[in-house]
Structure 1
Amino acid sequence: MPLDPQARALMDATEGLPPVETLSVQEVRARFLQAFGRRGEPESVLRVENRSIPGPDTEIPLRIYTPRNEPPLPILVFFHGGGGVVGNLETHDAVCRTLAKGAQCMVVSVDYRLAPEHKYPAGLNDCFSATRWVYENALSFDGDPQRIAVGGDSAGGSLAAAVALLARDRGGPELVYQLMFYPMTDYYLPGTPSYEENGSGYFLTTTAVKWFLDHYLPKEFDRDDPYLFPLRCRDLSGLPPALVMTAEYDPLRDEGERYAMRLREAGVWVHLQRIDGMMHGFTVLAGRLDKGKHALKDAAAHLRAAFLACPTIL
């Protein structure tokens, strides 16, 4: 179907801005925060708390969203998008509030280290450490260690998939669900049909993907590393059920959908949903895209159902 009119209006409003690949990292971070930072009154939840926890090399900032006072609540550990280079707790505050309220779960948003200051696997190590910390300390902040999910958008979706793989391969923690919005699951070369169709003109471009990966990846890296590119994993069995949402006009569409199919082939329960008329980033743009808003609500409903199907610690 054609690009959604609201999405087209947003694209037209950004026409003429310098391409990401022509800017410095600090300039892109500032643009990202301006585009996706808080606008207007945030959606209300019962409590929002900022914390710092011990990480593998330095402390990891977290933000914990609590929608209601009925412990123990299930927990979504959330990893923001931004190519592993940009993004923070503020850029995804609205997304986390919507998921917490809609799924009636706690959301623990992880402010992992970013490249190029901290290249792969620093961010992934932070995300996995934070997930383990949540499991080990859930009861201390009224969470349920038996009902923990992971999720994220774009690069954060890739991190969620990688954390699920690490949890399986390293003996826990046991996760009950994984939530991935338009994840990056493979290297951008040689590319897919969606790269050919949507690699320019739809917010995320092929050249921008290359810019992010050039900053994120170390000089020497393994393209078959399953924790870097989950689609390269040979064995996807034994992973938690998943929701994968993709966007019609997104260069990452095909690899996200292929990952969902690979999970199914491995015996993992998957709900795959393509959001027609949308481009990459529709969740962080939900305040300005009706389809993005509905997609977040749908995702929250799937997450809530998954938590309700799991036994609680009490």
Structure 2
Amino acid sequence: MKTKIKAVAIRNVIKVDVWRRWLGKTAKHIAVRKSNIETAHGDIPLRIYQPPGEGPFPVVMYYHGGGWVIGDLDVYDPLCRDLCDRSDCIVVAVDYRLAPEYPFPAAPEDCLAALKWTYEHIALYGGLPNSIAVAGDSAGGNLAAVTSLQARECLPGVVKGQVLIYPVTDHYEPGTPSYIENANGPVLTRKLMMWFWDTYLQNSPLLEVGQTRHPRATPFMRSDLDNLPPTLLITAERDPLRDDGANYAARLSQHDNTVQYSLYAGACHGFVGLQGPNPHHNKAVDEISAWLTALFGV
């Protein structure tokens, strides 16, 4: 019960803070439509952001961050609008189930279901089903990476690229140098990241007591990282997760995948989207948009 109360409190604080930072600065000309995916576990809400123009448009599936515990469609609305506006892509934001109410593997199940739905239905919204990339930040970057791996097996060829923004790729133990250097933040701390992991994995039906790694939770530990789509991987220098991203980029390259890796010097966790339209955010969204343009050839 204490874990749930803490999660709800953090969710409310984050929402107010992000709205304050983006107040009056969102791309209001972007068309937004809502949809729901019916599953055996309940509905998965989606928001579909459509750029102006005739289309059809490439598609970006966006999985929000928040340690699998916080974050939602409202918190990430400004970022999704901005990404849609600058990239000229349809953005499909996924409101996957959160822990502790729904522990692992609820989130990756929902993310895969959303990808399948998008592939089958996005043409109705002016999207190109054969031009889909997955993207996400932090825990959402983890889910984008995991979704690419899942889709390689059950939806081969559907994911054309993945944008991983300071992704979580492995458990907090053993700790990396960036976990030690940035243990006290700014923004994300080692203690908070540990709480996120513990909350996400606690009561999971797939894990034994004490188990901290699983192919659908910790992509870095997988040995089958070959034949994955081109990757743009972005990290922040002042972030406990910096090495998670850098190490995963290296592993992907070792398996002969195409990887573009960018370290944002001086930036801290959450600089994309959550801190408002700051210079680092603007540069990153421009980089993502240029990369998507090259990926889809539009």
Structure-1 residue corresponding to 2:114 = 130
Structure 1 counterpart of 2:241, one-letter code: L
Structure-2 residue corresponding to 1:10 = none
Cα deviation for residue 288 of structure 1 reads 4.9
Quote the Cα distance in structure 2 between the aligned partners of 1:48 and 1:146: 22
1:258 corresponds to 2:254: no
Structure-2 residue corresponding to 1:165 = 149
Task: Mark the CA change 1:112 to 1:102 in structure 2 (over 3 Å): closer, same or farther.
Answer: same
Quote the Cα distance in structure 2 between the aligned partners of 1:132 and 1:53: 10
Task: Mark the CA change 1:288 to 1:66 in structure 2 (over 3 Å): closer, same or farther.
Answer: closer
SS of 1:176's equivalent in the other structure is strand
Quote the Cα distance in structure 2 between the aligned partners of 1:305 and 1:214: 39
SS of 2:39's equivalent in the other structure is coil
| From 111, 117, 141, the counterpart of 2:125 | 141
Structure 1 stretches of at least 4 aligned residues deviating more than 6 Å after TM superposition:
none
| From 52, 74, 93, the counterpart of 1:90 | 74
Cα deviation for residue 42 of structure 1 reads 1.6
| From 81, 93, 97, the counterpart of 2:65 | 81
Structure 2 counterpart of 1:252, one-letter code: L
Structure 1 counterpart of 2:113, one-letter code: S
Residue by residue over 1:46-84, the C-alpha shift from the partner in whole angstroms, topping out at 9 and shown as x without a partner, is: 411111122341111000000123232110000000001
Structure 2 counterpart of 1:117, one-letter code: E
Quote the Cα distance in structure 1 between the aligned partners of 2:219 and 2:130: 25
Cα deviation for residue 45 of structure 1 reads 3.8
1:107 corresponds to 2:91: yes
Quote the Cα distance in structure 2 between the aligned partners of 1:298 and 1:109: 20
SS of 1:203's equivalent in the other structure is coil
Quote the Cα distance in structure 1 between the aligned partners of 2:39 and 2:288: 29
Taking the TM superposition and a 5 Å limit, the aligned residue runs for 1:168-179 are 168-172=152-156, 174-179=158-163
Give aligned-pair identity as a percent: 40
Cα deviation for residue 44 of structure 1 reads 3.3
Between stretches 170-179 and 275-284, larger displacement belongs to 170-179
Cα deviation for residue 173 of structure 1 reads 5.5
Quote the Cα distance in structure 2 between the aligned partners of 1:44 and 1:299: 20
Q: Please tell me whether the aligned partners of residues 56 and 129 of structure 1 are also in contact (alpha carbons under 8 angstroms).
A: no
Q: TM-score normalized by structure 1?
A: 0.88
Q: Please tell me whether the aligned partners of residues 102 and 301 of structure 1 are also in contact (alpha carbons under 8 angstroms).
A: no
Structure-2 residue corresponding to 1:26 = 8
Quote the Cα distance in structure 1 between the aligned partners of 2:52 and 2:10: 36
- Where does structure 1 lack aligned partners over 5 or more consecutive residues? 1-20, 310-314
Q: Please tell me whether the aligned partners of residues 127 and 159 of structure 1 are also in contact (alpha carbons under 8 angstroms).
A: yes
Structure-2 residue corresponding to 1:277 = 266
Structure 2 counterpart of 1:263, one-letter code: L
Quote the Cα distance in structure 2 between the aligned partners of 1:209 and 1:224: 15
How many residues were matched structurally? 289
- CA RMSD, Structure 1 to Structure 2 (Å): 1.8
SS of 1:59's equivalent in the other structure is strand
Cα deviation for residue 308 of structure 1 reads 1.4
| From 168, 171, 186, the counterpart of 1:184 | 168
Structure-2 residue corresponding to 1:14 = none
1:295 corresponds to 2:284: yes
Quote the Cα distance in structure 1 between the aligned partners of 2:203 and 2:37: 29
Q: TM-score normalized by structure 2?
A: 0.92
Cα deviation for residue 34 of structure 1 reads 1.3
Cα deviation for residue 124 of structure 1 reads 1.0
Cα deviation for residue 41 of structure 1 reads 4.1
Q: Please tell me whether the aligned partners of residues 18 and 276 of structure 2 are also in contact (alpha carbons under 8 angstroms).
A: no
Q: Please tell me whether the aligned partners of residues 78 and 151 of structure 1 are also in contact (alpha carbons under 8 angstroms).
A: yes
Residue by residue over 1:234-274, the C-alpha shift from the partner in whole angstroms, topping out at 9 and shown as x without a partner, is: 11111100000000000110011110111111111010000
Q: Please tell me whether the aligned partners of residues 286 and 293 of structure 1 are also in contact (alpha carbons under 8 angstroms).
A: no
Structure 2 counterpart of 1:26, one-letter code: V
Quote the Cα distance in structure 2 between the aligned partners of 1:173 and 1:269: 15
Q: Please tell me whether the aligned partners of residues 56 and 125 of structure 1 are also in contact (alpha carbons under 8 angstroms).
A: no
